[in-house]
Every structure is written in C-alpha cells, then in structure tokens.
Structure 1
Amino acid sequence: MTPTIPGFDHVRLPGADGVELSALVGGHGSPVVLLHGFPQTRLMWRHVAPLLAAGHTVICPDLRGYGDSDKPAATGPGVYAKRAMAADVVSAAAALGHDRFALVGHDRGALVAFRAGLDHPGTVSHLGILDVVPTLDMWDVLRGVSAAVGYHLFLMAQPPGLPETLIGNSPDAFFGSFLDAWAGDPAALPGPVRAAYLRASAAAVPSIVADYRASAGIDVTHDRADLDAGTRLAMPVTVVQQDWGARLGYDAAGVWRAWAPDLDHRLTGAGHFMAEEAPEEIASAVRALLAR
C-alpha cells in the first residue's frame, strides 16, 4: 500500500489549461499550500502537514507532471514553465474556496512557489522556500567543478530525446541516487516511502525532464524579465536551506534578499530532505512565517 498522510482526504482539483492536480487536504483554518520537490511527491509533507493542520487548512498537491497529477505532453516550452505550474496551484486553491493563501515549496516546488509569488502577489500571502535559489541565480552560482553537484540540471537541459532515454533506461538508479546522496538522515526515507518515490518518478520521466528543461529556458526568460522590470516578492518570505553559500562560494542570503525585501533567511543542519528529516524545525519556521 502506498503511504499517505493520515487524516487527510484525497481530492482532484482543476489546474490551468485543463490539467488536474491530485492533492491531499486536511485541517481547519487559514490555508497553507505545500509543494513537494524532486524526486518526491506530496508524501514528503507526511510529517509537517499534520503539525500545521492543527491550526490551518493544509493542501498538499502533486505538481503537474509528478505523482498522481496529470502529465501533459510537453508540446511547447510553456507547458512545464513554472508560470504554468504556479497557475495550477492558484486554480486548485481557488477550487477549494481559497483566493488567498500561504505557500511553501521545497526544491522544484519552491521554484513554482517563487514564480507564484511574483505572478500572483495578491493571492500568495506568505512565501516559504526550502533549499533552493531562484532559477536565474542558480545558473549563475553553479561554476567550475562545484557545478558537478548539479549535473542533473545540465543533463535534463539537453534537447528532447537523449535525457529521456538515458533516465528511462535506469530510472531507479537515477532517481535513487539523489535520495541516497541528498539525505542527511537516510532513516527519514524508509523503504515504503522510497519505493513510492521511485515508482512515481519512473512513471513520470518525460514530464520531470520537461520540468527541468524549462528551467534552462523559459523560466530563465521569465525570471530575467522580472529582475529587469524591478518586480520583487511583496509578501513576507522565509528561506530555509543548507549552507550552500559556503559550499559553492556565494552569498545565499544576499541572493534571496535581492528578490525578497521582507526576508527571514535560515540555515539548517538537516539534509536536503529537511521536511522529512527535521519536520518540527520546518513546521516551526512555517508558523513563524505565518505570524509575520
């Protein structure tokens, strides 16, 4: 049986452009949407979501192209642009009656949340970001041999065909390598959870690659346009991340402050899968964000 989040109900919600998202919803109170990362699904919030549900309505969707959500064919660069994926989230929340909500994202979900904050400032009340820098800045900070940590970004940026074939031939080895390398505490990803992530990822290779390919193209274009126009995140923003600045040689807090004037930047000792490794810490950070 696939693990789930106890006490949460499964719903199908309308996204943008006819896409449907699969989501788990639980709790009562002001709404908080939690977006998962790679190579995960909404299941990554199985510890944090119940902690927040005591005082909030918590919505955990699978992103477009991931998990049990629709996986439209990448017929153009915009299909998996973070702009389209952010529009999915706004539409899904509206279908539940929420025209304004807090948004927290991890990894790929954090990039979607970042785009939602820029595109929908009247809708996103608070923004939480876990362990990324914005797409535009990400390509700037990955230099020299240190860029090897992000080799998958360069692989999936290649034209359609080769990345899908290579990954599709050994999906468990590919996706499992990130679960192994990025986990500060492997016990935080028990066997059934790991199996669920690998199963979901293997079934979504073309859409996952399309998501990453968009981040080497149309997402950069959108970020650059906002940076040049002076568009910034208008809501309170909390960023929790590993000390990537020290590892890669850049000012991580400074990168985020350029986008988010109202910033709380925090470092964690947890690994990349921090919502699973340190759920109390992450839930506490989210509560502090919502109190601002």
Structure 2
Amino acid sequence: MTVTIPGFAYHRVPVADGVALHTAIGGQGSPVVLLHGFPQTHLMWRQVAADLAAEHTVICPDLRGYGASDKPAETPDGLAYAKRTMGADIAALAGALGHRRFALAGHDRGALVAFRTALDHPDRVTHLASLDVLPTLDMWEVMHGVSATVGFHLYLMAQPPGLPERMIAASADEFFGNFLDLWSRDAAAIPADVRAAYLAACRAAVPSIVADYRASAGIDVEHDSADRAAGRRLAMPVTVLQQDWGAALGFDAAALWRAWAPDLVHRTVDCGHFMAEEAPALVADELRALLAR
C-alpha cells in the first residue's frame, strides 16, 4: 500500500525539460515548501506538514532523483544534480502552483537545495529554514582526520561513476537502512510502513542519489566558492536547527552559518538527525516563529 500524507492531494508538476516532481499539497494560506533529506522522501514531513496546513499552503515535493519524482541521467559536468539545478526546480514548482514568493525549509540534502534556492532566487524566497546540515563548502572544510569517518558515505559517493553505484546497489537496504538506524535516537519515529517506503524509494534511485552526492563534491563546491568570493549572503530571515555535532567535531556551526546569513536564529535541538519525525511539534513551532519574523 502506498503511504501518503493524509488530507494532501498529489500532483506531478513539470519543472524542467523532462523532469516533473511528485508533490503533496495541502492546506490554505501563504505557501511553505518543505524539502526532504536522505535517505527519505517527502513523507518525512508528514506530521509537520499536517500541522502547518492549518494556516499555510504546504508543498512537499520529492526532489529530482528521489522518491517518485523523475530521475534524469547524470551529466559529466554534474549539472543535472547540481543544487543550482535542483533549486531551479523548486522555484519552478512554486511558480507552476501560482506562488511568486514562498517560504522554504529543508532537511539534510533538501537543506542544501533550499540554501542554493535562496541564494539564487532571493526575490522568491521569503524565509529559509535549514535542519541539521552545513552549507556544502563549509561541510567539506570541517571534515578532516578521523572525525570525517562519520561522513564516509560522502567520500564513497564522490568517487567516479561505476563503483559506488554497484557497491550500494548490491546491498541497498542495508546501506540506506544503516543511516535510518544510526542517525535516529527514536526508532519509533519512523514506523515500519514509512521505513519500507524509504527503502523502496532508495533502492529504485541508487544512480540518481549517488549523482546528487557526487555533485556536492564537485560543481556545488564551485558554486559555493564563487558565491563566498563574491560576498553573496542570504537576504531573508534564516533559522537553523542542528544537533550539537559541531561541538563534537570541533567547530562553531552557528558562526559558519552566520557568515552566510546575517539575520540568523541558530538553535541546538536535543533529538536525532531526523528531527521532523522525532520532534515534529518543535520543528513546526520553530517554523512558525521563523515565518513571524
């Protein structure tokens, strides 16, 4: 049985040549777009989305390459899965649904897409929330020595095409399930039917998921580096929710974010990585506070 967000309507929305995003939409009011992380789909937002739909039009797509959205082939230049391209998808999605301006929140991979969307389309994004991630350039700069073992998958999927895809596909459920187990403090937060939906979606998307990560070790770094050199910053109010892993790895996450976001609220959250599922009421409250700024 297909798992859905109760009360939300589902649409396939064309956003680029040959790419449509599988999207759940619910509620009425000012638009809020929620972008999922790895190894998940839009379903990670199911509780937060239902909560916010009391006051907002809530839009939850599967990112390109994930879930039931289209999965174009990777290109040698990395642009097919560059966060700039994926961010353009989100701007096009909102526009296709009639929203010139919208608030945007992302978790993990979705937060990287949200960050790039906000940098590239500052006239479109009114508010930005990032859950438990650093901007790509900063992430690579703080990863070093044995502390980098926590991000082994980043290095695996950064390798040239071929080997990573074959290795992951050979044990896809174990690979993706490892992160669902390792990064969660509350196993009950991801019920069996949702977990099965995540694993099935990942199993069917190994090449595009690897392409997304490979882009973050190449073209995404180029884009972030150019923006940092040009002094580009996020123009809208920004809220960042993170675990306290910055302290564990020896860096100041708030300071790294503040370099990109002058209007920043940074909060440390006492839960696992999958905070929208482990602490949905807290996340919804923080998003409401952001939207009130």
> TM-score, with normalisation over the residues of structure 2?
0.99
Letter in 2 for 1:80: Y
1:4 to partner: Cα distance: 1.0
Corresponding residue for residue 191 of structure 1: 192
Corresponding residue for residue 79 of structure 1: 80
Give the match's secondary structure for 1:231.
coil
- Distance in 2, matches of 1:221 and 1:151, equals 21
Give the match's secondary structure for 2:81.
coil
Moved over 4 A (4+): none
CA distances 1:164-185 after superposition (whole Å, capped 9, x unpaired): 0000111000000000000111
- Size of the aligned set, in residue pairs, is 292
- Return 5+ residue gaps in structure 1 as ranges: none
Corresponding residue for residue 23 of structure 1: 23
- Distance in 2, matches of 1:193 and 1:10, equals 17
1:2 to partner: Cα distance: 2.2
**Residues 1-292 of structure 1 mapped to structure 2, 5 A cutoff:** 1-76=1-76, 77-292=78-293
1:78 to partner: Cα distance: 0.2
Letter in 2 for 1:62: D
1:14 to partner: Cα distance: 1.5
- Contact persistence 2:246–2:252 (CA under 8 A): yes
Letter in 2 for 1:239: V
- Distance in 1, matches of 2:176 and 2:221, equals 24
Give the match's secondary structure for 1:46.
helix
- Return 5+ residue gaps in structure 2 as ranges: none
Superposition RMSD in Å: 0.6
CA distances 1:249-287 after superposition (whole Å, capped 9, x unpaired): 000000000000000000100100000000000000000
1:17 to partner: Cα distance: 3.3
CA distances 1:124-175 after superposition (whole Å, capped 9, x unpaired): 0000000000000000111111101100000000000000000011100000
Q: Which moved more, 1:73-82 or 1:106-115?
A: 73-82
Give the match's secondary structure for 1:79.
helix
CA distances 1:195-227 after superposition (whole Å, capped 9, x unpaired): 000000000000000000000000000000000
Percent of counterpart pairs with the same letter? 71
- Distance in 1, matches of 2:230 and 2:16, equals 25
Q: Which moved more, 1:68-77 or 1:225-234?
A: 68-77
